[in-house]
Chains A and B, each alone.
Chain A
Amino acid sequence: MADNNPSREDDQLDEEEELDDTGYKSVKDAILFAIEVSDSMLARRASSDPKKSVEESPTTAALKCAYHLMQQRIISNPQDMMGILLYGTQASKFYDEDENSRGDLSYPHCYLFTDLDIPSAQEVKELRALAEDDETDLREVLTPSKEPVSMSNVLFCANQIFTSKAPNFLSRRLFIVTDNDNPHADSKSLRSAATVRAKDLYDLGVTIELFPISNPDHDFDSSKFYDDIIYKASPTDPEAPSYLKLDSKDTTATADGISLLSTLLSSINSRSVPRRAYITNVPLELGPNFKISVSGYLLFKRQEPSRNCFVWLGGEKPQIVSGVTTQIADDTARTIEKWEIKKAYKFGGDQVSFSPEELKDLRNFGDPVIRIIGFKPMSALPFWANVKHPFFIYPSEEDVIGSTRVFSALHQTLLRDKKLALVWFIPRRNGAPILGAMVAGEEKLDEDGVQRFPPGMWIIPLPFADDVRQNPETSLNVAPEPLIDQMRMIVQQLQLPKASYEPLKYPNPSLQWHYRILQALALDEDLPEQPEDKTKPKYRQIDKRAGDYVLSWAEELEKQDAKTAPSGPKSTLVKRGVKDRVADAEDASGKPAKRVKAEHGPEALDDEVNFHYQKGSVSKLTVATLKEFLTSHGRSAAGKKADLVERVEEYFERK
């Protein structure tokens, strides 16, 4: 039986997978939001933009951010956990306890709204209602308590949630959103208690990230309380810079509602993923016996939609199925033990086998290293010499003290002299060696001075001779100057903003649509009709800005083509049929695709097909014509004639 379950557990480990040497920890991230609920946190702030009359309170802004992050993490980090803890609330809730339980409450005025876990659809829905629906009953919980909440209690509550729900996670982070910079101004003992609980969290390996909110009449001053709570270094990533944690201080200082939301959002977004090294403390060998240590990160990695899986419909709710694989011998179907398995290659109609150790040895090219082979000018790196995403590397002092200054010297030298280093790069033990170009990247900041691209080196894996394909033969038809001049005008009209590519402006439309639909299905909502696709060209603008130039270019093209045509094609290729050639030339002309109807004839493919569509006789067209029409409109041309006819009709119906 063909097993078409795509989520196989026995998948061979992808080399890309971020398997770092993390020892006993599981490489997962848990974020617990602790959002304060108080009168000032609930005070609505008007928007300074008169067009947007939305009023936003810091608490609802924080909840909206949390909701946004939750949705985003379902896509980007499907294995990671998230939870929402409200504090300062009149109501209290901690697992089985609430105000109605007997006995004392463990954590009064702490309300665990969303338990720390991989979010469920229901939780997403509730969080959205709380954040966005002013009318919901859920808003009841956003009633501030009359007595102050103890911060040590809040911190210990978070501690207990992390301890029991996210044990052994590599990364656990507490995001505190508050406008109260001095919760226990009048009680030294409460302050001390909070400090001790903060140390507990540090020792547990929980990083506290503060998202302070300033009030219109009062700037948040972290030195009053939070500087005793937050630690200089992250407990799990001692190399992580501490100063960066403070940049939100200024950005959230604004008072108006919309900008509050957007700055909070961007500041939370920038921390949505914990920093995870792809490789840690690998030697960067500048020369024989001279090494420093660096860590590597994947700052670019294609985000793919999750693969589909099997669900079991036999129960009350659909349930995810886990598959268990047993291996059996093909001849007798007996179950095989792992030690029996040999690996073999097909060769000459037979198998050539190797022991697992030999197979491992074949992939062993030495210990992990980044070894500089020599330097070359940057211009030696051709545009096409690329096979995959780059690796980012940054110095680490953990193995070799002084690495940072040497790395910095190399970085500055390469930047200044526009040079690259050719490196032999073995990312991990038994990993395939990469020949790479190591180039220095400058730090890039956005308008607000927030880092967009970090300073460091990038290793660009180069193709080996085996990976380079030969260009297919084709005819050379160099455009004459006048035609180039016309095209140049078009290009100049259509520069992207700042004449550069800004990836953050282009969310992946198919990925977003995939999860948008899943969310609607999971929450039992109506399906959205139109996807938002920011990768579609701005047609109106193109027409407006470049339309006239396009027409004169097309005219010139006709002229030039007429000039060259009589001399015969220079192509070395087999000539195509007359009909095809004419149709193609029509296509290439840039002339209106919708042209006057009277012209229909064999040369005007669109018109011909349209003509038959109007008459309801599409099926009379030949398969070749249908295929050509479909292909030229980006439609699939696979299948039988009936399918093609159907697709052509569909095309016109949609117009």
Chain B
Amino acid sequence: MADKEATVYIVDVGRSTGEKRNGRSVTDLDWAMQYVWERVTATVSTGRKTAMLGVIGLRTDETSNDLESDPHFSHISVLSSIKQFLMPDIRQLGEAIKPSQTDKGDAISAIILAVQMINLHCKKLKYKRKIVLVTNGQGRMSNEGMEGITQKIKEDNIELVVLGADFDDPEFGVKEEDKDSRKSENEELLRNLVEECDGAYGTLEQAVSELDTPRVKVVKSMASFKGHLQLGNPEQYDTAVRIPVERYYRTYVAKPPSASSYVLRSDLAGGEGTAESSATVAPKGDQPGDGNTLTSVRNLRTYQVTDETAPGGKSDVERDDLAKGYEYGRTAVHIDESDENITTLETFAGLELLGFIQSDHYERYMHMSNSNIIIGQRGNDKSALALSSFIHALFELDCYAVARLVMKENKPPVIVLLAPSIEADYECLLEVQLPFAEDIRTYRFPPLDKVITVSGKVVTQHRNLPTDDLLDAMDKYVNSMELVDRDEDGDIIEGLPIEDSFSPVLHRIMAAIRARAIHPSGPIPPPSERLMKFSHPPQSLIEKSQSHLEKLADVADVKKVPPKVKGRKRTRETEKPLSGLDVDALLHQEKRAKISPSNAIPEFKQTLSLAEDIESIKGAAKQMAAIIEDQIKNSLGDANYDRCVEELGVMRDELISYEEPASYNEFVTHLKNKLLKEELGGDRREVWWLIRKSKLGLIHQRESDQSKVTEADANEFMSAK
């Protein structure tokens, strides 16, 4: 469990913070709040009850604090006591934070007050204590009794952080020109205080710029398996090895938070119009719970079975009449509750070695899963010693081990690959899962370095093969695009920039949630630059490789296929059988006069390919239309629907290819009318639903130049129910 935390933020809201300085587009206060909000919402998003915070306003118009009787503490207000911060607190703070009308109020007194607040709240309990002061350094600060303050802060083990707008920071490279002398003094005073307390002192610009770097949540791993690494069977042979080991995640994908479904509370839900506002509706008063205008959505399930005697072909069944089972093909297999585990393979937990392989015989792309580490049982030096000999033996022999892992009794076994990992201060086995026979799909692809013709001849010069020039240009380009990453100290990073890449979806959603929590009506922010760092090559690399890329593009001579040509009949070559026989000539002889409904798709395609004039194309389309309508009309239930959808799809594709979209558009318009007017054998709305789902509506201008239908019209046609 993470430690309890108590943090007090002191926010300077003095009149001067309402000004924009040094060419910035935001006021000092807004600038400071970027930092404060980020930190506050980060704490809120953990949802932890033990991560508490309080807020003090400095240089406020009013005075409101426990020591308010003392004039030293005037113009300081406790905006929020130390507690778990929730949405209402965020809203309240949002309203309270605005530039005041005064510049009175002492930052040092505010720190004393914060120390006192923490003291009262935490007592002597174990807490991570922290005070963060954000100020623009204007106004008067008193240097009285600094020693006492320092001593108290150190005694209580409080971390003091001071961030100031335009505070000089040679390390970060900020120096304010023409700084007024009071601010200079204040900076000096604060810097000394922080240094005495071993705290952190910095300029606001740095703090804000670092907000862009996402914070990675550190998850403490639990062992996913504790058992034995085994070689041989100890129950049968006395030569078996058993080393107690533990297994932990090495990688595990961090998922973005998931959204739940809500609707507007029924007492608030009016018509469709009121549901439009997307943000959390702000509370109208301060009664608790008023901010919550949503209610959750529940799923209600009913169950149906196919029943030919019932209207609609389905009848409802009761939940109580149902039992557990599985599908075997299209047969339902029922399994009694008492036999629940009958299909579970009996296994016992363990990590059993199958054998060893040479690491250079292994293809890296066979890794199937996240990776894990295996270490010797913690606190057991002998097992660490035994495992270490195994790790080193693998390393010295360039071997990986293949093992069968069962994590718990009766869990399915997986095959894993174990690789040695030896670092100066850490030794372990790395583990990933390997595929089983069933996990492999044998799709075949032709070689990339030669072309084999239909007759089996091997060709090495072909339009699909690179020329020497192309290979040479590629070689140069690849070399010019070599990535060289450097760490903060400018040293070259050998590996991939994993530590530097952040999950874009995860952090973008988190950032959006926080942004919306603070500004309910604001638009969602774009992904931060930091998240998109690896979405493009670094600019320097692009510039460096530009000439090589131009050369490569030149030699490669690739041609983009315009989108409209894509669907069109390409080379007739592929339409011939292996022998190259001209089947069209045979079809010509056969003269199929009419498209027969039972063989509609082939005959429609063939009629089109033999058509000599537009009239024959239109004629074929008409015949097809009649066939489809007839099939819908005579369909028993939904029996013919899929077939009709296929025929419509073929018709649509072909008529786009033959540049005759009007025939299709005319037909589909009629069809829609007839379907909705129930003129094709009763209620056939399902067909219309299928047409919409399959996107078989009007052919619009982007799909075919000959079409007179705009994309908007086509969408309109589809959207109508």
Contacts and interface: CB of A to CB of B under 8 A. Distances in A.
Interface string A479-507: 10001101110111011101111011111
A561 B583 CA distance: 82
A126 to B, nearest CB: 12
Contacts of A372: 481, 537
Interface string A505-534: 111111101110111011000010001010
A399 B558 CA distance: 10
14 contacts: A312-B305, A325-B299, A342-B264, A346-B257, A351-B294, A382-B496, A383-B430, A384-B251, A388-B369, A401-B558, A455-B448, A495-B358, A503-B440, A519-B328
Contact of A468 (B499, B558, B590): B499
A512 B700 CA distance: 50
Contacts of B392: 478-479, 484, 487
A202 B280 CA distance: 57
Name, among B438, B447, B576, B603, the residue most crowded by chain A CB atoms within 10 Å (CB to CB).
Answer: B438
A616 interface: no
A477 B388 contact: yes
A456 B445 CA distance: 8
Nearest to B371: A384
Contact of B649 (A25, A159, A232, A411): A25
A233 B357 CA distance: 40
B233 A592 contact: no
A187 interface: no
A325 to B, nearest CB: 5
A196 B590 CA distance: 9
B427 A500 contact: no
Contact of A455 (B244, B379, B445, B576): B445
Contacts of B508: 362
Interface string A565-585: 100011101111000010011
Interface in A438-481: 439, 441, 443, 451-456, 458, 460, 462-479
Interface stretch (B68-76, B151-159, B318-326): B318-326
A634 to B, nearest CB: 3
Interface in A263-307: 269-270, 272-273, 275, 286-292, 297-303, 305-306
A43 interface: no
A298 B441 contact: yes
A345 B577 contact: no
Contacts of B553: 287, 289-290
Interface string B530-559: 001011111001100100010011001111
B577 A290 contact: no
B437 A243 contact: no
A394 B445 contact: yes
B211 interface: no
A624 interface: no
Contacts of B428: 471
A160 B602 CA distance: 12
Contact of A511 (B330, B436, B534): B436
Nearest to B355: A496
Q: Which of B292, B470, B507 has the most CB of A within 10 A?
A: B470
B81 to A, nearest CB: 16
Interface string A374-412: 111001111111111110101001111111111111111
B300 A508 contact: no
Interface in B360-393: 361-371, 373, 375-386, 388-393
B231 interface: yes
Nearest to B405: A535
Contacts of B365: 300, 390, 392, 439, 441, 458, 460
A388 B450 CA distance: 32
Interface in B159-198: none
Given A350-B280, A424-B534, A521 B504 contact: no
Interface in B110-135: none
A350 B291 contact: yes
Given A327-B300, A472-B378, A412 B466 contact: yes
A332 B266 CA distance: 7
B362 A501 contact: yes
A348 B304 contact: no
A655 interface: yes
Given A23-B649, A388-B369, A413-B475, A309 B443 contact: no
Interface in A606-640: 631-636
Nearest to A522: B328
Nearest to B453: A243
B332 interface: yes
Contacts of B227: 631-632, 634
Contact of A243 (B389, B446, B598): B446
Contact of A537 (B352, B444, B576): B352
Contacts of A506: 415, 436-437
A19 interface: no
Nearest to B303: A321
Nearest to A431: B505
Interface stretch (B23-31, B83-91, B100-108, B672-680): B83-91
Interface string B552-574: 11001111110000100010011
Contacts of B301: 3, 5, 323-326
B489 interface: no
Interface string A28-46: 0000000000000000000
Nearest to A481: B392
A590 interface: yes
**Of B345, B505, B560, which is in contact with the most chain A CB atoms at under 10 Å from its CB?**
B345
B253 interface: yes
B717 interface: no
B396 interface: yes
A410 to B, nearest CB: 6
B329 A78 contact: yes
Given A118-B330, A374-B482, A509-B413, A327 B298 contact: yes
Contacts of B440: 299-300, 503-504
B483 A376 contact: yes
A interface residue count range (under 10 / 10 to 19 / 20 to 34 / 35 or more)? 35 or more
A12 B409 CA distance: 31
A376 B478 CA distance: 9
A326 B302 contact: yes
Interface stretch (B3-11, B417-425, B704-712): B417-425
A186 interface: no
Ranked nearest first, the 8 interchain pairs of A and B with the lowest CB-CB distance are A634-B348, A374-B483, A592-B238, A350-B87, A24-B694, A402-B558, A593-B234, A510-B412
A498 B561 contact: no
Given A121-B328, A557-B386, A243 B498 contact: no
A522 B331 contact: yes
B517 to A, nearest CB: 5
B367 A390 contact: yes
B432 interface: yes
B207 to A, nearest CB: 21
Contacts of B720: none
A168 B642 contact: yes
A460 B491 CA distance: 26
A324 B363 CA distance: 45
B256 to A, nearest CB: 8
Nearest to A483: B389
B221 A412 contact: no
Contacts of B265: 329, 331
A168 B412 CA distance: 37
Contacts of B437: 503-508
A564 B381 contact: yes
A39 B266 CA distance: 76
Contact of B419 (A168, A383, A409, A499): A383
A647 to B, nearest CB: 9
A403 B381 contact: no
Nearest to B417: A501
Contact of A323 (B302, B449, B500): B302
B623 to A, nearest CB: 16
Given A195-B581, A573-B378, A409 B474 contact: yes
